[in-house]
Structure 1
Amino acid sequence: MRKIFLPLIMASTLCSTTLIAVEFSQSIKQAMSSDIRTDNEKARDRNRQPEATLAFFGIKGDMKVLELVPGGGWYTKLLAPALRDNGKLYLSLGTKRLKESLLTKSPFDKVELVGSEAYDFENLDFNLNDLDAVLTFRNYHNFDENERISVNKAAYKALKPGGVYGVVDHTRRHMQKKNDENGRRFDPVLAIKEVQQAGFVLVDYSNLHYKIDDELRFEVGRKTVRGNSDRFTLLFKKPE
């Protein structure tokens, strides 16, 4: 009997997991068309590919997710409604603008701020230990070396065993020294090394945001580069 029921249980679990992923994808699509988003935000969907990016990171609607440095809320406006009913979205670092402008409204009223609202990296602690995922989009380059160490350690501590850490940022050439043109880019090899030093395991990388015609020479805000910068997309995991 055990040999019969075990495959059935496994098949049922797989179907349930697949259904949750499909439902989350549909929720993201609905959020993408929401009136809460500006036309400029919607115009970036094609380039940033949020549905595919979140699928690569394995995000589902029943997860507890922490977004770091949410900025103006581009991803927050997608994640908050998609996680509102069955999951949980947390925000940390540089959250004051969203706290005052967005988080008092539905469907953002269940979003919770943790850690530092400003950019206080000393003794950084998100005061969580059961997160399914920590995500940061195009922000890793903003931190200096000590701040990156602090962020990576805090992310590791906040995740449950098996939890994932997703990092997206503008690509800098490997071992290229910082200059006036590459300050908002980061060396992906160095990023991998630093995150691994915090205890994470590199699981996978994606070419979703690979741009063959970005020469990695110019500032990402230049007209010839903006919206077409090459970005690395890395998936790490906290060992179980």
Structure 2
Amino acid sequence: MRHRIFAAMVLAGLATPAFAQHHQGHGDHAAHMAASPSIAAAVADTRRKDSNRARDQYRHPVETLDFFGIKPDQTVVEIWPGGGWYTEILAPMLRDKGHYIAAAQPPGKYRAATETLVASDPARFDKVRITTLDPKAPGDIAPAGSADAVLTFRNVHNFLMAGDDAAKAVFVSFYKALKPGGVLGVVDHRLPEDRDPALEKSSGYIKQSTIVRLAESAGFRLAAESPVNANPKDTADHPGGVWTLPPTLAKGEEDRAKYQAIGESDRATLKFVKP
């Protein structure tokens, strides 16, 4: 009974901050079964790369997208999709009734990866629109007031590394793109609140309170948080930062088994709303 109650709390966005900080998010079968059939079908699509599907156990795409309230008739902007881990889920799901916009990096290898993926399979990606988000000069990632949701997965720490003003400007771009009542969904590597703030500029981890501060500075309201991507095994103090963990495994063979046993990082999953 306790697990069914917890799953309902997650999907309703009612889990308390303390519980969200410490609960292990892996394998929440009840929440998975209760999620949107459209999301579940998109995640189960066998056209997704096997290497991407292998990470579902860490990234919980069904529960995460359901928590953000994503529906197939929405306009959704994904920030910096890179190689397209979530593009493979979102673009086909939104293709017929909604719109998927990839707000990609400025020209370089990550934008090229997005463009290559989109060109690789017109049956899934022919309606994808690619725009640009440059933290050094944020512009329109979508027509103002057009998006139902803006989603950013493991990117806010990068924006902060470009400077606090740049990070604030990026959140303003998110705010501008959204309709009133629209959702900003954020997932990022979580730095414990008692750690040195300087680590946010070097470790790849960011404090949840910093994400909230940046979002609120742009006018957003924190609506809910979910523990679905929490990982208590992650101590967030690795010698090479978050990149020491899978999937990067920056240390190569050094302590590889140890880091694989930890899995991907502990992550904050936050839902903000534009009033």
Could you say which TM-score interval applies, normalised by the shorter chain? 0.7 to 0.9
Higher mean C-alpha deviation, range 221-230 or range 52-61: 221-230
1:107 alignment partner, one of 124, 130, 147: 124
Structure 1 outlier segments of 4+, above 4 Å: 179-182
When normalised by structure 1's length, the TM-score is: 0.82
> C-alpha separation between the residues in 1 aligned to 2:207 and 2:242?
14
Cα RMSD over matched residues?
2.2
CA change 1:136–1:225 in 2 (3 A) is farther
Is 1:166 aligned with 2:195?
no
CA change 1:156–1:53 in 2 (3 A) is same
**Once the 2 structures are TM-superposed, how far is the Cα of residue 146 of structure 1 from its aligned partner?**
2.5
Runs of 5+ consecutive residues of structure 1 not aligned to the other structure: 1-21
Runs of 5+ consecutive residues of structure 2 not aligned to the other structure: 1-32, 106-110, 245-255
Is 1:220 aligned with 2:269?
no
Count of matched residue pairs: 215
The structure with the larger Rg is 1
Tell me which residue corresponds to 2:27: none
**Once the 2 structures are TM-superposed, how far is the Cα of residue 47 of structure 1 from its aligned partner?**
1.3
- Which amino acid letter does the alignment assign opposite residue 55 of structure 1? D
* Superimposed CA distance per residue, residues 48-107 of structure 1 (whole angstroms, 9 cap, x where no aligned partner): 110100000011111100000101100000000111111110011323321133245221
**Aligned counterparts, 1:109-124, within 5 A:** 109-116=126-133, 119=134, 121-124=136-139
Structure number with higher relative contact order (C-alpha < 8 Å, ≥ 6 residues apart) = 2
* Superimposed CA distance per residue, residues 181-223 of structure 1 (whole angstroms, 9 cap, x where no aligned partner): 9521111101101110100000000100111221121222324
**What's the % identity of the aligned pairs?**
38
Tell me which residue corresponds to 2:140: 125
The secondary structure found in structure 1 opposite 2:270 is strand
When normalised by structure 2's length, the TM-score is: 0.72
- Which amino acid letter does the alignment assign opposite residue 190 of structure 2? T
- Which amino acid letter does the alignment assign opposite residue 110 of structure 1? K
**Aligned counterparts, 1:84-103, within 5 A:** 84-94=95-105, 95-103=111-119
> C-alpha separation between the residues in 1 aligned to 2:135 and 2:201?
27
Tell me which residue corresponds to 1:31: 42
